[in-house]
Structure 1
């Protein structure tokens, strides 16, 4: 991959940090955002002006637009925009506070949407580019005790899949990255948990209460995952989904099989609700129009 410029949110830790280190070491430029000033000073000292850094909380929409605009203005063309900022929130839905729910959706869902929206005018003007969205296997599969985390990830997957079809005419491509567990600080640093309710003791929702147990390390290698993401950015056409980790592949495959097994036998009953015209046949309507709603 020839020298390129990447915009990445949340470069101070996790896959954002791994991506940034690999890209800079390979001679690329990175515009990175952090919530805590000074958290990537070591990289700035090592790589100088090849690392552009701005403070950003993605829940601040006005600031998102300001930072994205500044990055394009200062660096010119940006080839890849990576939505990496996010965190895990575990606990039964009933255990979570209203504030926890609002914040995780504002970060993992709305924040990613607004970064993409802020970048689109620039990507269109330059004639194309790539948007990489860090999701998770939990964007297609679910576990009890993670309902709001899944809500944000399923939501961003739907948004990005639709966006990919909207922006294809402009040469803009989208990739959803679906990692499994990785040996980052995700489970130990940024992970947030609800205050347990005794009613959920011993139930499936309680399984996430041990997510921060360091005696059970994740299977994924963040450096290898970063390398695959970088490789994918050079693929044409872009992969819509990039699954990373044998655990991710196993969970996603099982979820898709279960979902198909549930709906496949419903073909006849589903068709029984079609509109029948006066001649006794279906009008064959297709597309996004939904009748009766």
Structure 2
């Protein structure tokens, strides 16, 4: 099938690979323009950009698709369908109407739950037992289009990083099915709609006035990015992994082994990271850093 692929982060790469390996004619790959990244703010191409170049595919990096020249360029590729996976730019109605078979999106949730930018993190934060992937036909609303295929997976103790990798592979497989089988597009249910707004860095600060199990979900939801964090004695610590243990202490109170009090239960970090340092166990941290007296996480 003649198609345009639209994606940006590593999540999108398995779908691009699957479509290429399956023999589809990928006439263009749209991705976000190179952006400054890292401590040195070096301009870097997106994961999709790099992979498309490795596959020898033409890459297009418009800053917007709202203007007539960009829309005319998109139309010039004459795609039968556009496959979208975490592209990051708004597709206006003019673009959505160009491919005869529409624009199909890989969305990392079981729609209509978690429409929006951060469905994986929001599902973990909310304590959902399952999430998954929905292949949907795009329309002007925010992830409101009709659904073609969906599949679920258990969340359990998975981090956002774990689920992102799993769902990216699931989405690639389901997109191939959608293109091959052409299932009917069914409207999303009106009941059960929730929104998944983008994660802010401020949300990643752990609030020890909350129960330990809720904080554990936050740690998993924000791993690997932006990383759940707290401050103890003026030292900023990311907590990358933890467990809930029995016992009571006042919220934020830190014991000698760095176990932290919460509103209900206690939180024992298993993997932490100081600014500019590699991840380490609390035992390794405390060998080189003295915990202040009467330390409290804030």
TM-score range, shorter chain: 0.3 to 0.5
- Higher relative contact order, structure no. (Cα contacts within 8 Å, ≥ 6 residues apart): 1
Which is richer in strand? Answer: 2
Q: Whose helix fraction is larger, Structure 1's or Structure 2's? A: 1
